[in-house]
Amino acid sequence: MSSSALPIDRSRRRLGQALGAGAALGVLAGCATRPPASGVRTNGKVLVVGGGFGGATAASYLKRWGGDTVDVTLVERNARFISCPLSNLVLGGSRRIEDLTLGYQGLRTRGVSVLQDEVLDVDPVNRTARLGSGARQQYDQLILSPGIDFLFDEITGFDRRAQDTVLHAWKAGPQTVALRAQLEAMPDGGTFVMSIPKAPYRCPPGPYERVCQVASYFKAHKPRARIVVLDGNPDIVSKKGLFLAAWNGAYKGMIDYRANALVTELDAAGRTVTTELGDRVKGDVINVIPPQRAGDLAARLGLLNANGRWAQVDWMTMRSTAVSDIHVIGDATFAAPAMPKSGHMANQHGKLAAAAIIEQLNGRSPVTPVIANTCYSFVDDRSAMHVASVHQWVADKKTLEPVAGAGGLSGAASELEGQYAFAWARNIWDDMLS
């Protein structure tokens, strides 16, 4: 790192490298930039809301690429980051939630002002955010990465009381730990019932990975237990052949998978769910993953212009197409073709938004994006498989589309890929939180 001011041309070339060739190669880290000499004028103040995969990455890369020329504040309601990736392994029993919990000190060291608070509202005209603590934050540029919230109302009976006992564990944290405790308390010979909402939802392969993790735990500790999967989709949404290989192999006879079985009703006290076709299924532990939409703040700000659920964005800059001058990234976006709602994708969105803002603050047009995704799924405590894709800007369609022939799918789950998956997690946590 040198101490000279960030040279505009060099920084521009670096942005292009990180989002282009680097991303296409699946490189997580962008490139280190050099901080400008002291006394450099600040070009702008950027407020980032949400310190998950998208927001933390955006905050980090704004500083990496903008140095002292950009003032970055990150508002996150939680004191620490808890990773959804690997959280299914907590249910399987091979990881603890503490293993997936990290602090925001690295971002603070980089120069990001990290506030543990909640953004309640935003006034886009006066560029001000109102926080739960009563404070107000002025900004020049705003990035929202609020993740998802749940549409509990779409399932009759999934009221606040029911939510105390019927868990989703689809945001890693206390619910993950509580669901693991329910699994541990379940008698051998009991039934675990899991429901999957219609796509799009956060992490397409995540529910099927969860089935593997619960099956792995049952196989070792409750061999007479069984699993019923009620899938609201017409088929397994992701890595079908690879998941079926595990279910018909190591877990043969343990899993009753039912397609087109959308859960529309819940009787929490009776531990029973009902599908839209009227099938009633009773379990000892019920895990309902509810339908989802972009996080509440995005809804409150009128950003959900795709089916009232997701925020459409200009993929060149990640700006909302509903409210000008707000960038939306991560799961909250209405995905481009074949783009999953994943932590890896949110990380890439964060870099894209950071790059677009740095370019704008310097009076330049945005770089042409190429981004990539890799999602690993564990079938037991050590073997995993992946799906990968590359997405590039298609000018005439004004969107990102998958690059034919790039990316792919594992041939089979393996312990080697399990090691890659753990390394992927360590790398991406480091990339976003430092």
* Residues found near ligand FAD in the complex (CB under 6 A): 49-55, 75-78, 84-85, 87-88, 118-119, 145-147, 170, 202-203, 206, 295, 297, 330-332, 341-344, 346, 375-376
Q: Nearest-CA neighbor of 315 among 218, 402, 193?
A: 402
| Residue 34 C-beta: closest distance to ligand FAD, Å | 28
| Residue 105 C-beta: closest distance to ligand FAD, Å | 16
- Provide the edge-to-edge strand list for the sheet that holds 326-328: 113-116, 70-76, 44-49, 141-144, 326-328, 319-320, 313-314
Closer of 30 and 343 to ligand FAD (Cβ): 343
- Distance CA(357)–CA(40), nearest Å, equals 18
Write the DSSP assignment of 152-215 as a string of letters: GGGSBT--HHHHHHSB---SSSHHHHHHHHHHHHSPTT-EEEEEEPSSS-S-TTHHHHHHHHHH
In the bound state, the residue with its beta carbon closest to ligand FAD is 52
Closer of 6 and 28 to ligand FAD (Cβ): 28
| Residue 162 C-beta: closest distance to ligand FAD, Å | 20
| Residue 277 C-beta: closest distance to ligand FAD, Å | 26
Closer of 119 and 355 to ligand FAD (Cβ): 119
Sign of CA dihedral 381, 382, 387, 393: positive
Closer of 68 and 209 to ligand FAD (Cβ): 209
Closer of 205 and 283 to ligand FAD (Cβ): 205
| Residue 357 C-beta: closest distance to ligand FAD, Å | 16
Please identify which residue in the block is written with the tokens 């949110």. Answer: 346
Pairing of strands 313-314, 319-320: antiparallel
| Residue 143 C-beta: closest distance to ligand FAD, Å | 10
- Distance CA(420)–CA(387), nearest Å, equals 13
Radius of gyration from C-alpha coordinates of the chain = 22
Structure tokens at 153: 């109302």
Closer of 49 and 72 to ligand FAD (Cβ): 49
| Residue 50 C-beta: closest distance to ligand FAD, Å | 3
Residue 321: CB atoms within 10 A of its CB come to 14
Closer of 297 and 367 to ligand FAD (Cβ): 297
Using DSSP, state whether 7 is helix, strand or coil: coil
